[in-house]
Amino acid sequence: MKKLIILLVLIAFGIPSPIYAERMYTTGFEWGTITTNVDFTVIDAGFNIGTTTRSGSSSIVFDPAVSNQNLSFNYTVATSSIQYARVYFRFSTFPSTDTTIMVFRTSGGTAICLIDFDAANLTLELHKGDTAQVGSDSATLSLNTWYQVELKCQDDGTTNGLPLEAQLDGTSFASGTNVVTGSITSMQIGTHIDIPTMYMYIDDVAINGAGGSVQNSWPGTGKIVHILPSAAGDNAPTLGTFNLIDELPPDNATSFIDLDAATTIADFNASSTSQVGINSSDTISLVEIRVRIREESAAATLYQLRIKSASGGTLATTTSTDVGGTTWQTNPVSSTAFRKKLVSYIDPTTGIAWTPTGTNSIDNMQIGVASLSANDIDVSTLVAVVEYVDGITSQNVTSSPMCLINDGLFILNGRLIIP
């Protein structure tokens, strides 16, 4: 009965609006490039795009021949002082000495909290700042295994007793309190020392704030892929077609579409979920629009990102924002990259969670960009970043047509039955 009541509440009230959610950053490295400020900021080079992945076609692999390998995610400051990060790690060879692998930092570079790899015990440790360990070590890690590592940290001036916590595969292994000076503005991943034995992969990174009612805590499990334009949509650009903006990695000025003057809109149908490994039974966590964009000439130039779940469907957009210059940028607000977000947690037409397939769905969605001022804009690449969770199918539950999965819930011919 409890499950039926919960289901009826969801049907009646839907899933909370995107405005009450706080996903700060999402990447699965599907841009396929390590060029700084395309997908992230390079601190110290020494890593490459990897083909050993947890999802999608790309990951990051850290090269053991190079020291000081770091990349950073600089993002819009959360409305809440509590932030959560998830990174999937995989080691094909372990570091031979202790090293930090992920850290929340202030704009001045001060470490707020971090996770260290303990080389002697092959475990992870939670640290406050660059100093003392907090709590216990994690379980022992194994080679060639993807691990979901999550870090929670709060900043708030010089307040004592602020919480911090670390999880491995969804289970807390260390927690405590911290004394914090400064505000978190970035998550940094990598190593700060020369470790010739370490071969490490990362994939499927997510950062949440604590505001609102969706994506406001631990990101939990998730896979991240990119869906690209595949055909013309409801509105056409001034010049160019979808095949000029569907390349990964982005080629910037080599191929792009042109949007002249105000108001010019370009909408595009997108490739299918099956092409990126999403099944019809999978759960969609969010859809985010990313763009590589520039002004044709230096002048105030406004743009807007767009998404809808089918041709003619209800539109979700960003507010109008200045492109910021003639240099190619990713989701800029003026001259600062990565600041303009269009993250959709619910289908704007149906008002409930996105689905992979159906009349209103990711398979039928259109993604777009609009020019809202007199100065022209160019768009080199437009993508939908999709995070999803593997669902239950008849194939991965049982070979029988019917099975009990939990406390009165049944799978019958691949469908969930609630008594």
Q: What is the pLDDT of residues 209-220, one digit of tens each?
A: 988 888 999 999
Is the pLDDT assigned to residue 27 strictly greater than 60?
Answer: yes
Query: Where would I find the H helices in 56-165?
Result: none
Is the pLDDT assigned to residue 34 strictly greater than 70?
Answer: yes
Predicted confidence at residue 323, as pLDDT, reads 96
pLDDT above 70 covers what percent of the chain?
83
Distance CA 164, CA 181 (A): 14
SS3 of residue 224 by DSSP: strand
Is the pLDDT assigned to residue 415 strictly greater than 60?
Answer: no
Cross-strand partners of 383:
290
- Residue 316: how many CB atoms within 10 A of its CB? 21
One-letter amino acid of 201: Y
Is the pLDDT assigned to residue 3 strictly greater than 60?
Answer: no
| Of 8-12, 102-106, 124-128, 370-374, the least confident | 8-12
Q: Which own/partner contact pairs does 60-66 have at CB distance under 8 Å and 24+ positions apart? A: 60/29, 60/34, 60/201, 60/202, 60/203, 61/199, 61/200, 61/201, 62/190, 62/191, 62/198, 62/199, 62/200, 62/201, 62/202, 64/93, 64/195, 64/196, 64/197, 64/198, 64/199, 65/196
Count of alpha carbons within 13 Å of 46, Cβ hemisphere only? Answer: 23
Distance CA 388, CA 282 (A): 7
Distance CA 365, CA 313 (A): 9
Predicted confidence at residue 404, as pLDDT, reads 37
Burial 132-171 (b: 16+ CB within 10 A, else e): eebbebbeebeeeebbbbbbbbbbbeeeeebebbbbbeee
Is the pLDDT assigned to residue 78 strictly greater than 90?
Answer: no
Which pTM value belongs to this model?
0.87
Predicted confidence at residue 42, as pLDDT, reads 76
Distance CA 382, CA 397 (A): 36
Over the chain, what is the mean pLDDT?
A: 85
pLDDT for 367-395, tens place per residue? 999 999 999 999 999 999 999 999 975 44
Predicted confidence at residue 408, as pLDDT, reads 39
User: Domains in the chain, ordered, with CATH?
Assistant: 23-221 (2.60.120.200), 226-389 (2.60.120.260)
Predicted confidence at residue 76, as pLDDT, reads 64
Instruction: Give the C-alpha distances (Å, rounded to integers) separating 181 from 166, 216, 244.
Output: 20, 23, 46
**Percentage helix, strand, coil for the chain under 3-state DSSP, each rounded to 5:** 5, 45, 50
Distance CA 57, CA 384 (A): 15
Choice between 40 and 131, residue whose per-residue pLDDT is larger: 40
Distance CA 122, CA 332 (A): 40
Predicted confidence at residue 160, as pLDDT, reads 63
Instruction: Tell me which residue has tokens 């932030």.
Output: 83
Q: Name the residue among 116, 142, 143, 141 with its Cα closest to residue 127.
A: 116
Is the pLDDT assigned to residue 277 strictly greater than 90?
Answer: yes
SS3 of residue 172 by DSSP: strand
Distance CA 206, CA 405 (A): 29
Judge contact between 185 and 105, C-beta under 8 A.
Answer: yes
Distance CA 168, CA 390 (A): 19
Is the pLDDT assigned to residue 7 strictly greater than 60?
Answer: no
pLDDT for 111-162, tens place per residue? 889 999 999 999 999 998 877 899 999 999 999 999 999 999 988 655 567 8
